Amino acid sequence: MGENERALARLSSLLRCQSGVVSRQQVLDCGVTTAYARSQLRRRRWVAVHRGVYVAHTGQLTWIQRAWCAVLDTTPSALSHDSALDAVSGNGTSRGPIHVSVDGHRNVRRRSGVVVHYRADLSDVALDTSPPRVRTEETVLDVASGASTELGAVAHLSDAVQSRITTADRLLEALARRGRIHRASFLREVLTDVAQGACSVLEHTYLTDVERAHGLPTPVRQAPTGVGRPGFRDADYPDLGLVVELDGRLGHVDPVSRDLDLERDLDAAVHAGRRTLRVGWGQVLERKCSTALKIALVLAQEGWTGRPQPCARPDCALRDWPT
């Protein structure tokens, strides 16, 4: 085999590894001339997606081809944020922009269909992946810290842990290595709770932002069930026959755990005359005022004669409490 054949064989192997996408520089690195690349483009065997980045067909690009095009066009770079998560989970689609990260000292021009993020360095890139991507734990922290709400941050952590692409312990280790990161304390508290199988962040937020902030009565906390399956109730109002359970588990609850929860609620209703309300992250973080209003209404239905109070928010739902 002559040198030209060996060069073309290297190029063919590279195209297979990169889903049919190659850059001009890579063509040259394989030992193939620019004249060959021009001839492929002229004959419509290749198409230029970006300047100096080619795909070896004329049809619609797949998600992985779009990802390769974005990485090669911005090299040195790596898939990051949602695109890195799509790559590791295998859920990449043709919709939405491709996210890549580059060194923070660069100034990369805008590209259609590509979102460029700037990092202090690219030492957290997994170079052995195809395409290169920011490591999973760093990526999860990126998307969680960049979420528009705390509930969104919890959802990102939830998806990552539940899908088993990482663990709470590995995320905590990555967080400890990071420098400044948005809502670091909140992420650390949530991940610590997840690693320990607890939901104290949710319990604390419920106590301060729902219960106390709106003047709800103080329940008995961690009260033994006493009937049915043994366990503890998060917030028990024995004189009013009401139980509030704070469900802080992340992700989709497995059928066995869900069944046990429902059985405990049923036991409380049948054997102890207790009505159970289940409250999760969305009710506590996103809809705390309306949650307080609804719990206050149920408490009043069960005989509570007190009066809730609106919190400091001007649009608090408790401001409409009947006089």
**What local confidence, expressed as pLDDT, does residue 166 receive?**
92
Q: Which residues pair with 48 in a beta bridge?
A: 54
Cα(21)–Cα(31) distance, integer angstroms: 17
Distance CA(157)–CA(285), nearest Å, equals 15
Burial class (CB in 10 A: 0-12, 13-18, 19+), 219: buried
Q: Smallest Cα–Cα separation from 58: which of 75, 44, 69?
A: 44
Closest CA to 24 of 69, 77, 78, 79: 69
CB 135 within 8 A of CB 124: yes
Predicted TM-score of the model (pTM): 0.74
Q: Which residues of 255-266 are buried (b: 16+ CB within 10 A; e: fewer)?
A: eeeeeebeebbe
What percentage of the chain's residues is helix, strand, coil (to nearest 5)?
Answer: 45, 15, 35
The H or E element containing residue 89 is helix 81-89
Task: Give the torsion sign (CA, 50, 53, 57, 63).
Answer: negative
Distance, CA of 244 to CA of 296 (rounded, Å):
12
Q: pLDDT tens digits, the chain, 323 residues: what are they?
A: 678 889 899 999 999 999 999 999 999 999 998 899 999 999 999 999 999 999 999 889 999 999 999 999 999 999 999 999 999 887 777 678 999 999 988 988 888 899 999 988 788 888 888 899 999 999 999 999 999 988 888 888 888 887 889 999 999 999 999 878 999 999 998 888 777 666 667 887 888 899 999 999 999 887 776 665 666 778 889 889 888 888 776 554 555 565 566 566 556 554 555 788 888 888 898 899 999 998 998 899 889 999 999 999 999 999 988 76
Beta pairing, strands 78-79 & 47-50: unpaired
DSSP string, 204-258: HHIIIIIIGGGTPPP-EEEEE--SSS--EEEEEETTTTEEEEE----SSPPHHHH
Query: CB atoms < 10 A from the CB of 206, how many?
Result: 26
Complete DSSP assignment for 144-213: HHT-SSHHHHHHHHHHHHHTTSS-HHHHHHHHHH--S-TTHHHHHHHHHHHHHT--HHHHHHIIIIIIGG
Q: At 134, list the tokens.
A: 């920011």
